[in-house]
Chains A and B, each alone.
Chain A
């Protein structure tokens, strides 16, 4: 990468770190360190909520998914506005009004200590591991693209984030999120503008070409429990997932607990309700435009440079033959794409030309699939080629300076998510375990020191998980998979908390039964999409918990 691009990246890192450390003023008490003295304006909280949810995986992986699969992934977010409105009238007033530090603290006040500790423990395990994967995803891509050891990539993302989160607390996290969100949106809009300028046909014609390959098919109204990306999965499963994430996950709850009032907390969540779907559509549109760009410029056969080198060395003859086929298929596709773009709209020639173009695109896709299989066979690894499409495009084709902005935006996306995770992991560790079970009468200054140490501990833990993510791959997958077992069930406990007659025994046993039911569904019907696990978990907990709380039943007495 050009030195100017590196300068932009370094300036960004220094800026975020120094500003974060400056925010340490005013964090001399636990409430200042973890909740910003509940004085952060709603728009900053709203941007922080969005920045936390938007990770580097979104910028690298989701854009790549847009290039290969199109816009249909946006359906995943259709439940989000509904979830935000429901949370605005249910959990937000409960949690904000209870003046708690963590969502789980509220559960002890409503139910008992064991329900609080179990939910907090489940959060620590799942979030600790997932924060590691949030660092690992861009770190692996940076290592492959820039040829660095994975340790350096993890350090580039992890170390500045740990420093500013440790020193500045939630103030640093939130205000860094605001800057990072602006940078991310600017980078995405910049990419769209550059791509529209660089694509050699008119945008309307280009979109017709993308449409011919199915990449602009947004809606799938089929009711299919095995398909994650349908309208109904998004609306029903997505609503429950977003209710779980924004309503019960401390990394999000802590964002809006910093707001000045219940109204401001609601407003901060509603910012996502308005902007998440357009933002996600923009992310996917970048991918679709990169796909269109590569209709008129020869793309690499494999985007992952490490795998490309390995295949060239170890299967040179086979890969060479595929490259020859690929070059000729690309030339034919380029010709047919230009022909389709030049035929008049609504003419029979247009339909014929688009159909011929679509068939030529299928041939290119088939050759690429063969190359991906060859890469997997040769390296013994999943190529995850989709994650390299956008980074390769950025480094190969963007004008000077833009690549630096994009790399800074990827770092910003990673840092904003990790900082919120570290901050919330430290909060749950100190408030739900250390202060609750070990040192309940400790002084503020002692707890503040422990909180900084806890942030540092979780930061190092996440960096270690990220460094060994490739070899820990299956373990992380297991953790994420088991994570989906209890996400919906924890939501069920919070829903139960709003039922006046619900009792502690109902909450605790309901949580165990909910997680067991989701596990049974997962192993008994593995084809069911994980989005439905949240529905099953939440409904089971509410049903079982309500039943066990009926006073006349012998087992419901506490």
Chain B
């Protein structure tokens, strides 16, 4: 049993939305790691 397959146009829109979300999450992740890196470099190096 798999999830019902959405129509092709929906799947394309879904993929585009996912790529955008993925990019946002990765940017947020990189910003968080950079801030933690700055904390370490400034105070613990």
Contact = CB atoms under 8 A, between A and B. Distances in A.
A113 to B, nearest CB: 14
Contact of B25 (A97, A110, A263, A273): A273
Nearest to A109: B1
Contacts of A277: 29, 32
A96 B4 CA distance: 10
Interface stretch (A23-31, A115-123, A216-224, A297-305): A216-224
A274 B39 CA distance: 19
A180 to B, nearest CB: 24
A81 B3 contact: no
B39 A89 contact: no
Given A81-B29, A216-B39, A219-B36, A110 B1 contact: yes
A218 B25 CA distance: 21
Interface string A193-221: 00000000000000110110011111100
Interface string B19-33: 001100110110011
Most-contacted residue by chain B among A84, A93, A109 (CB, 10 A): A93
A216 B40 contact: yes
A337 interface: no
Nearest to A208: B43
Contacts of A214: 44
A207 B43 contact: yes
Contacts of A85: 21-22, 25
A211 B44 contact: yes
Contact of A94 (B3, B32, B43, B44): B3
A98 B40 contact: no
A270 interface: yes
B3 A98 contact: yes
Contact of A217 (B2, B17, B40): B40
A88 interface: yes
Interface residues of A, number: 35
A78 B30 CA distance: 11
Interface string A278-308: 1001000000000000000000000000000
Contacts of B21: 85, 88, 266, 270
Contacts of B28: 81, 273-274
A106 interface: yes
Contact of B37 (A210, A219, A273, A278): A219
Contacts of A274: 25, 28
Interface in A108-153: 109-110
A71 interface: yes
A94 B2 contact: yes
Nearest to A210: B43
Contact of B3 (A97, A208, A215, A273): A97
A549 B32 CA distance: 42
Nearest to B38: A218
A211 B1 contact: no
A110 B2 CA distance: 8
A74 interface: yes
B36 A74 contact: yes
A402 B12 CA distance: 51
A274 B45 CA distance: 27
Nearest to B15: A89
B2 to A, nearest CB: 7
B10 to A, nearest CB: 11
Nearest to B1: A109
A78 B3 CA distance: 29
Given A96-B3, A207-B43, A84 B37 contact: no
Contact of B39 (A71, A81, A94): A71
B20 to A, nearest CB: 11
6 contacts: A85-B22, A211-B42, A215-B44, A218-B36, A262-B3, A270-B21
Sort A-B residue pairs by CB-CB distance and give the 3 closest, nearest first.
Answer: A97-B3, A211-B43, A109-B1
